[in-house]
Amino acid sequence: MDFNLNEREQAVSDLANQILGDKVDHDRLKEIEAGDDWFAATEWTLLADAGLTGIALPEAHGGGGLGIIEAGLVCEAVGHHVAPVPMLPTTVAALAVAEFGDAATAAELLPGVCDGSRVLTVAMIEHLREDLAKPGLVAGDDGALTGTKSVVEFAQQATHAVVNAIGPDGVGLYLVELGGDGVSIEMGVSTRKEPVAELAFTDAPATLLATGEGPVRWLEARYLGLVCATQLGVVEGQLRLTASYASEREQFGRPIATFQAVTQRLADCFIQIEGLRLQTQSALWRIANEADPWEDLRIAKWFGSEGAHFVAHGAQHMHGGIGVDVDYPLHRFTLWNKHLEVTLGAGNQQLRTIGAALATEELPATPA
């Protein structure tokens, strides 16, 4: 199957990379990281003005009317430039609202996502709970939520979060206002120095979006696919920076890129990245065409964990001492790499699931 970008997809990728490439350089990132909110607000507005924040949302709400493939290309550009913008969580949450929310809820929330005035997030991760269809968060008969969610990104900027919870009729997706009653936010810091929140819900009012494992898996697939797309951008940027450094850094009177051991290491990193690219593109294509994406998603996430770790280690090794200098940009890619590596399950977790599939001749959506 040919996954080369068509003219429209290439234009989306070029536009996102042009905006972020022009604005998000090392000095700008240092400025953002020195603040408290880790949010490139100006760049988020520029993406919105270009129609990219709502590219996968319905045109009726101001969106681009395109799909998950195009959203993945924007996420890839965000990763390539390690830009602290909420493209990933906002897109995942907005897609859930567009698919499962009623007309009034969609009309209230989605136009703001498209014009950049509103940030949404997803809160689906819980400590020691791998299966998103078996959360500890509980919803009462009235939809009020009780429990906690961890590692919630952009909770400081988001007005609403989409959560998975066990309700009277089983697992489902709920929409909760983060500034509402019964919601407390405790901030921490992730491995990539990003403020992340633990949300504690105590009879917090929420709106039921959909009930059943199907909607949860629907959202999980899109979340996982866009995580892989973002990771693809990160390792691309990491390898590009390393190749540039190796072409300029001289040892024994020659650029180190001319040494066979270095070129072989760069080539091995490139192979890992192309594996991640192929599986991610295949998974997003399957989602867009309503085919079963889970085998491709699990393999893509394996590449986005084990393969991405290989790239990060190789990039650090080939840079030598300067690679750990925080005044040099490589460290930022490595920290993003580690954060995304473990999001929604690291490599060993994916291997357990794939192994269970080989044993049973079917691929479950959840870890074994």
How confident is the chain (368 residues) per 10-residue block, as mean pLDDT? 87 98 95 93 98 98 97 98 98 98 98 98 94 96 96 97 97 97 96 94 97 97 98 98 92 90 95 97 97 95 96 94 91 96 91 83 59
pTM of the entire structure?
0.94
pLDDT of residue 2: 73
For position 364, what pLDDT does the model report? 58
The reply to whether 7-117 and 121-211 are identical in fold is no
The pLDDT of residue 250 is 82
Q: Could you tell me the CA-to-CA distances from 252 to 225, 249, 259, 351 in Å, in that order? A: 44, 10, 10, 43
- In this structure, which topology does domain 215-360 adopt according to CATH? Butyryl-CoA Dehydrogenase, subunit A; domain 3 (1.20.140)
One-letter amino acid identity for 80?
A: H
Q: What is the structure's pLDDT at 258?
A: 87
Assess contact for 162 and 113: CB atoms under 8 A. no
Amino acid letter, 153: E
Of residues 198, 189, 146, the one with CA closest to residue 167: 146
pLDDT (0 to 100) of residue 238:
97
The pLDDT score that the predictor gives to residue 355 is 86
CATH number assigned to the domain covering 7-117: 1.10.540.10
Let me know if domain 121-211 sits in CATH 2.40.110.10. yes
**In the chain, domain spans:** 7-117, 121-211, 215-360
Q: In the structure encoding, which two tokens stand for residue 137, read together?
A: 């968060």
State residue 359's pLDDT score.
Answer: 84
The CB-based long-range contact list for 306-309 (8 Å cut-off, 24+ gap) reads 306/347, 307/235, 307/272, 307/273, 307/275, 307/276, 308/231, 308/234, 308/235, 308/272, 308/276, 308/337, 308/340, 308/341, 309/337, 309/338, 309/341, 309/347
